[in-house]
Structure 1
Amino acid sequence: MLPRERTEMLEREILSPYAALSSRSKGRLAPEEQCDIRTDFQRDRDRIIHSKAFRRLKHKTQVFLSPEGDHYRTRLTHTLEVSQIARTIARALRLNEDLTEAIALGHDLGHTPFGHTGEAVLNEICPRGFRHNIQGLRVVEILEKDGKGLNLTWEVRDGILNHTSRDIAATVEGRLVSLADRVAYINHDIDDAIRAGIISVEDLPLNCVDILGDTHSRRINNMITDIIDNSADGCINMSQPVKDAMNQLREFMFGHVYLDPVAKGEEKKAQHVVKELYFYFLKHVDKLPDDMKLLLECTDISDVVCDYVAGMTDTYAIRMYKELFLPESWN
């Protein structure tokens, strides 16, 4: 028996009846010969980790634009925290940990430079609109590997597309990642905001502290424990008190951090950079990289330009803006 076959057998014996089995995946867009060692979901995880889009996450904004401190979260560290939280819950509920990890690692591949600020700008100016989850699916299906895509399984692609609160994933693992995403960003954004001096621990709503805990680790532990205790029969749930406290913390963060002039002090500049880059490349298609030009054979110009700008990191977008629009010193 091959190592992959042994893993698939163990999945059938050990996992919950509600878990997605790698041996019963709905498959890939282009059929492939299976790996002797890894299951299909394990291969998807590895493909995401080795992708260029995944590496770029380390220089993309989470909340604070291009933070100078070494310990602020980026889109990459957020992704890793989501993966850790989701995997912990998946193991406790006997769900497919490999599928969970693959979805978690790929869920934000479609994010723009400057976080949700960049997403809002592209949604405003691109004819097709823009949502990072839809773009994430485009990344793994088309944009990676010079237009070939990663050819991921249906279950992972569904989880990437449907990880936002407005969408519902088809698998339990996908729905778990969606909730783990919220648990991660609310808690680490609080941690970063305290580090930045925008809020203090004492500012947090007292009833939320009483229910969830007074430290970063306690809040995450209590949320994870609550999800495990209240999830059953393929449903991922929180108890009502914990869910209410989490939602109240989210509202608090919008009022005190996400819309705070300190945290968002550079937002208008970031909006300007994204807009100028988009309209520049729309007029100067010849300046696009060769791999993006190849897409012009089958894709509208505005979509290709949107793909290019959306794929930029914060640092690359700023550097490109300087090269295109700011004069250099003359020697």
Structure 2
Amino acid sequence: MDTTIRSRSEQAERQTLSPYAVCAADSRGRRHPTDPCDIRTDFARDRDRILHCKSFRRLKHKTQVFLSPKGDHYRTRLTHTLEVSQIARTVARGLRLNEDLTEAIALGHDLGHTPFGHAGERALNEVCPAGFRHYLQSVRVVDFLEKDGRGLNLTYEVRNGIACHTKGVRAKTLEGQLVRYADRIAYINHDIEDAITAGILQENELPYDSVAVLGRGKNQRITTLVRSLLENSGARIWMGEEVYTAYQRLHQFMFDVVYTDPVAKKEESKAEQLIITLYKHFVSDPDALSPRYQQLADRWGLDRAVCDYLSGMTDDYAVQLFERLYVPQFWHGE
């Protein structure tokens, strides 16, 4: 009889989780079989692997909406990730889904995001022949790039949730489907708050028909959206029709007013050109890549290896590299 702490946790999951939840003991496993941990379930182990990896730490210096903001209170890709995780765990707990699986997916969902947010993603998608999508790159990070190419060797359920957290095919688990909603709830509300902080939006400019349903202020809106998920989800994750319609109106408003605002986006074309220029530089001169990325090029092709290199950069590192390659350095001799 297995009497480890992990086995007791697995037994507790079977006794307490919803029939729609995924128990860690029922995972479809890892790409490379490994001995189980005596203390943690497989999903808890995945969460810890993501939390301690280099790609997770780099998120603190990657753009969310405003490029390299100088104020202390704007979101970065890291703070966005933490807010997604908090919202997702709250809903998972209320629905009795697997919190460890939910948190692992949430913490890993943006590991493959580029510097300069979606501007960097658009640039790589434009120039790379095979295209570029940050959610697929996030899976590539955990499979092949982390730990010097060994990857994090995560479970199928976490990898599937990361790959399906945005558009297209729904995740196979309710935990993965939940993270997709939590991502939307987080970014629409913190982007509103950041836009107000930046002075490009006022709270009273938000569409009245959305505010009337969701509430005024970030806390009210998040509470309404979370409550709607809790009250309407069962065999699938879903919001009530009225709340979801109000969310969609608010989302469209943000795209029309904030996400295309010339103040918020005035530097994005420069960021895109910077990424495109760096991409072309390394594709035309593969020897300029480090040995690690040259090995990736041998295995996956040069275009993909260059995308791996650029997408892993922070905003500051990409700018510094561009300056080193293309901006003349002044002579400092005696």
Please state which band the TM-score falls in when normalised by the shorter chain: over 0.9
Report matched runs for 1:1-331 at 5 Å: 1-232=3-234, 234-331=235-332
**How far is the alpha carbon of 1:117 from its aligned partner?**
0.7
Deviation sequence 1:202-257 (CA, Å, 0-9, x none)? 1001111111111111110111011101111x211101111011111110001111
Distance 1:184 1:239 in 2: 18
Instruction: Judge conservation of contact 2:297–2:303 (CA < 8 Å) in 1.
Output: no
How far did 1:128 drift?
A: 0.8
C-alpha distance in 1 between matches for 2:183 and 2:33: 31
Q: Deviations 1:109-141 (Å, cap 9, x if unpaired)?
A: 111111111111111100110111111111110
- In 2, Cα distance between equivalents of 1:10 and 1:34: 17
Q: Secondary structure, in 3 states, of the residue corresponding to 1:147?
A: coil
Displacement of 1:310 in angstroms is 1.0
Distance 2:257 2:317 in 1: 29
CA distance in 1 between partners of 2:294 and 2:17 (Å): 45
Listed as ranges, the gaps of 5+ residues in structure 2 are none
TM-score by length of 1: 0.98
> Stretches of 4+ moved more than 4 A in 1?
none
| CA distance, structure 1, for counterparts of residue 260 and residue 231 of structure 2 | 34
Structure 1 residue 165, shift from structure 2 partner: 2.9
| Cα distance between partner residues in 2 of 1:290 and 1:245 | 51
Aligned-partner Cα distance in 2 for 1:55–1:291: 20
Over residues 269-304 of structure 1, what are the superposed CA-to-partner deviations in whole Å (9 max), with x where a residue is unaligned?
101110111011112222212322221331201110
Other structure's SS at 2:8 match:
helix
Q: Specify the code of the residue in structure 2 equivalent to 1:260.
A: D
Q: CA deviation at 1:146?
A: 1.1
Look up the equivalent residue of 1:103 and give its one-letter code. Answer: I
Please tell me the residue identity of whatever aligns with 1:45.
Answer: R
Aligned residues: 330
The percent identity for this pair of structures is 58
Whole-Å separation in 2 of the counterparts to 1:295 and 1:129: 17
**Normalized against structure 2, the TM-score is what?**
0.98
**Distance in 1 of aligned mates of 2:299 and 2:82:** 34
SS in 2 for 1:296: helix
Which amino acid is 1:158 matched to?
Answer: N
CA distance in 2, matches of 1:34, 1:289: 35
